């Protein structure tokens, strides 16, 4: 089994899924130790996410609730961002705790959707987070998430290719020798997957439902001048 054959197993898409239970577990992990934010939760509704938290504002504890619709996740070479519609605009958007809550909310969604370790994704700055009257936008580069998304996409791709390669080993190649050859080819394959993830991934078919949470497809476009057709397959991130 040569490298060109392995390339043919690179998937066209990977299914992304983040349900409410996982969302809330990640959010609790994200805000652990935060004095100004406690008791945060996310409720999935059809078409939107309801975010609630107990915030300490000017020495007073209050419950803050807002609803957000996910507009877009852009992962082009020129722009890497995530954008939400504010379905219930309020006058607290400029406050520190609300901005911090929004930042952790966005990190929860991004890390959960792509399978990024949220514990390793610190929030040292709110630079890149823009809260407007009707929209919340975050620059994924400035929040330190782009490289982690790319790495996660590359790892998922390589894992799927390896699984397909092992399933499709010809009868004459099954055994120790074939697996040694496959392991030897994987570093090159990983580079190929990483190149695709770095430059050519896009997220499509984003949906929010009460039953399934947040779902979408991570598309891996075929590289230019790539002669081998990729085979479609999918894998949930959960």
**Count of structural domains, the chain:** 2
pTM of the predicted model, to two decimals?
0.78
Q: Does 51 have pLDDT greater than 70?
A: yes
Q: Does 70 have pLDDT greater than 70?
A: yes
Task: Say whether both 166 and 138 belong to one domain.
Answer: no
Per-residue pLDDT of 184-197, as tens digits, reads 776 776 666 666 55
Q: Does 229 have pLDDT greater than 60?
A: no
Task: Say whether both 26 and 130 belong to one domain.
Answer: yes
Provide the pLDDT for residue 193: 61
Please name which of 50, 52, 57 lies closest in space to residue 39, comparing C-alpha atoms.
52
Sheet holding 13-18, edge to edge: 13-18, 213-220, 201-209
Task: Say whether both 9 and 40 belong to one domain.
Answer: no
Task: Say whether both 46 and 133 belong to one domain.
Answer: yes
Q: Does 170 have pLDDT greater than 90?
A: no
Task: Say whether both 158 and 101 belong to one domain.
Answer: no
- Percent helix, strand, coil in the chain (nearest 5)? 35, 30, 30
Q: Does 35 have pLDDT greater than 80?
A: yes
The alpha carbon of residue 118 and the mean position of all alpha carbons in its chain are separated, in whole angstroms, by 11
**β-strand partners of 202:** 219
Task: Say whether both 135 and 161 belong to one domain.
Answer: no
User: Taking a C-beta distance cutoff of 8 angstroms, is the pair 132, 141 a contact?
Assistant: no
User: Taking a C-beta distance cutoff of 8 angstroms, is the pair 15, 234 a contact?
Assistant: yes
**C-alpha span between 175 and 68 (Å, rounded):** 52
Q: How far is CA 78 from CA 39, 74, 184, in A?
A: 37, 9, 34
Task: Say whether both 69 and 102 belong to one domain.
Answer: yes
Provide the pLDDT for residue 197: 55
Sign of CA dihedral 40, 147, 14, 46: positive
Provide the pLDDT for residue 201: 77
**C-alpha span between 209 and 214 (Å, rounded):** 7
**C-alpha span between 10 and 12 (Å, rounded):** 7
Whether 233 maps to a domain, the answer reads: no
Please name which of 135, 146, 144, 125 lies closest in space to residue 80, comparing C-alpha atoms.
146
Provide the pLDDT for residue 187: 72
Of the ranges 89-93, 198-202, 214-218, the best mean pLDDT one: 214-218
Residue 165 structural domain: 3-15+148-220
81 compared with 122, residue with greater pLDDT: 81
Task: Say whether both 134 and 156 belong to one domain.
Answer: no
Indicate the Cα dihedral angle 88, 90, 93, 97, nearest 10°.
Answer: -90
Q: Does 3 have pLDDT greater than 90?
A: no
């Amino acid at each position: 089994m040569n490298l060109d054959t392995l390339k043919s197993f690179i998937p066209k898409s990977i299914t992304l899924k983040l349900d409410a239970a996982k969302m809330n577990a990640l959010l609790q992990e994200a805000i652990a130790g935060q004095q100004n934010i406690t008791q945060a939760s996310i409720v999935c509704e059809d078409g939107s996410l309801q975010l609630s938290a107990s915030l300490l504002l000017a020495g007073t504890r209050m419950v803050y609730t807002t609803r957000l619709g996910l507009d877009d996740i852009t992962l082009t070479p020129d722009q890497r961002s995530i954008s939400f519609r504010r379905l219930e605009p309020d006058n607290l958007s400029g406050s520190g705790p609300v901005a911090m809550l929004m930042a952790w909310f966005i990190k929860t969604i991004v890390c959960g959707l792509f399978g990024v370790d949220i514990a390793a994704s610190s929030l040292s700055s709110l630079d890149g987070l823009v809260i407007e009257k009707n929209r919340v936008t975050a620059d994924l580069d400035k929040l330190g998430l782009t490289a982690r998304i790319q790495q996660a996409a590359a790892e998922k791709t390589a894992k799927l290719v390896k699984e397909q390669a092992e399933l499709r080993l010809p009868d004459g190649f099954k055994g120790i020798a074939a697996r040694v050859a496959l392991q030897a080819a994987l570093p090159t394959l990983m580079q190929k997957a990483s190149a695709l993830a770095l430059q050519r991934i896009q997220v499509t078919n984003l949906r929010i439902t009460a039953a399934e949470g947040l779902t979408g497809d991570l598309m891996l476009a075929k590289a230019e001048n790539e002669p081998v057709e990729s085979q479609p397959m999918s894998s949930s991130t959960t």
